[in-house]
Structure 1
């Protein structure tokens, strides 16, 4: 499958820039898949206005592969997205499947995702730690032979590896790459990705997405102007594929719409700039920055538990849970920034999603 095979309206969703939540995993108290609540989450994201979902990614827990849930979870999300009529009616979506593991496993996952109808695979390279740059590029090309790719610069604190600008230039040069999610949580390394795409002359084909949950608003507002062959080249980050946007998703959609409007008008109001620090403060609580991201998935679960979409914060690994003081930090940001939360929206529609 080549990127030219993606339906034009779905590709346009990606290229304009969309809210793509990194889908969480609904488990019951026995840490088994809760299909009803998993389905409800997908419905929530679509009703909130998301442009698609990313399933089988870090927020879905890489360990789904170890317990036989990779294909069932991807299949459930795709079936739900196809069957559900969101608020406002059906619209095109861009559906992303996480790909992980060494080459044989990742190729197998790409085949599963393509067979289920996903448009692209978000390729995590954490399992390739220690590989040379040519080996990494060959690994990526193997997946690109199966389906279109979204690159993924995952921060090392949660299992990613350092990937220099030279790697990103070679990656962006692969014709079947359609986007890159930048999530190193690091300004210099984010620039490495941008520079790699520009140097590969791939800025018209490869759409940039922020995964920097600690810097969402300014990533989306700031132009990146680099020099190529003595001439300035300006690119922008168009959307977000974010764990942060797995919660309070309707507010994320509102935020991205405001950012797009401001960028198109060439007028960025101060109150929009001020949201950058507020969103980052919320993320510190969600992602448990105080404890080196230990509770980053459980923190997102806790928000949906409080809203009634999940029954608990259970992760596949019993050691993954809220850290001491994290619940209190969530209390604080929800109290201080009610304009960034969507409790009322969820309360209005929750029963419909859970039906």
Structure 2
């Protein structure tokens, strides 16, 4: 058994200050084999963009990497870890590994990730419809004995489950839980998590991150406030762990820094509400909610392909591609919101990132 890990004080402080953490895609060749050069280039892009971490082997990396015919789980974790080590960063940078499956599998994945130097396990609560809430909590406690845990509230439309407020209340008390990514794409369910954490004795030990790609700016600007035992308790969603931040990452880093300044100075402009809508409009094109998110991963790939970071938008599943009309929607938002992309930044760095 790998000895339990913990974050350094610098990592802990950075996590709670708020970080841009892209959900790392999978680079494939036309014959759907791993494109190692471009997989490394993606990690280099995120590091160069100023991201505060990467999340690997998560939904955007494609859950199929775990299937025996591909066997890419350890490989993609290792490639990303090597690039982070090679960068020799002088700032905190979190390596987060996606953890999936029943408890036995989840523990194996956590041990693999810990062995490769990963700092946190983002533990999926999806894909296990037979488990009760208590069984989910038992599984989380087990993984937390190996790696610090990021909880993950995944929307049901892409394989997640709906959990009760009471579940998140108990979840928040688990020692070893350092953060929760909220991605139910649902305001009520997001509020359940925030309220549960605020009622926990560990509320100051848990960092909240948005995974709600449909409401990024509002999530990051909102201060939640509850009266608990006669005291006013406030909590913010401090950063994002997002598939939407797997592209246009440089601009995401700038966005979060601007939002932090607004939070410090409490100077709010109505323009932020407009920006939230603009980003949500973009996300609708890329994530394809019009077709139940069928094209969400190919949508991410399409942006990276247009920028030259990926050769194509291929997925391991040959049936996974853009939906009808999605390419035209991506054209539309690209033209409508040119201030949101980082194409110039990518063009400047691409040759360097693609070097063997």
Report what 2:350 is aligned to: 350
Deviations 1:231-276 (A, max 9, x none): 2211000000000000000010011001000000011122223210
Deviations 1:185-240 (A, max 9, x none): 00000011111111222221000000000000000001111221132211000000
Q: How does 1:1-355 map to 2 (within 5 A)?
A: 1-2=3-4, 5-66=6-67, 67-84=70-87, 90-355=90-355
1:15: Cα distance to partner?
A: 1.1
The CA distance in 1 between the partners of 2:325 and 2:181, in whole Å, is: 30
The CA distance in 2 between the partners of 1:178 and 1:2, in whole Å, is: 13
1:46: Cα distance to partner?
A: 0.7
What RMSD over aligned residues (CA atoms) do the two structures have, in Å? 1.1
The CA distance in 2 between the partners of 1:281 and 1:311, in whole Å, is: 26
1:153: Cα distance to partner?
A: 0.2
The CA distance in 1 between the partners of 2:95 and 2:229, in whole Å, is: 36
Where 1:129 maps in the other structure, the secondary structure is: coil
User: Number of matched residues?
Assistant: 351
1:2: Cα distance to partner?
A: 4.7
The CA distance in 2 between the partners of 1:297 and 1:202, in whole Å, is: 35
Q: Runs of 5+ in structure 2 lacking a partner?
A: none
1:11: Cα distance to partner?
A: 1.9
Instruction: Pick which of 314-323 and 222-231 moved more.
Output: 222-231
The CA distance in 2 between the partners of 1:43 and 1:269, in whole Å, is: 34
Q: Runs of 5+ in structure 1 lacking a partner?
A: none
Could you tell me the TM-score, scaled by structure 1's length?
A: 0.97
The CA distance in 2 between the partners of 1:154 and 1:22, in whole Å, is: 13
Could you tell me the TM-score, scaled by structure 2's length?
A: 0.97
Where 1:254 maps in the other structure, the secondary structure is: helix
1:307: Cα distance to partner?
A: 0.4
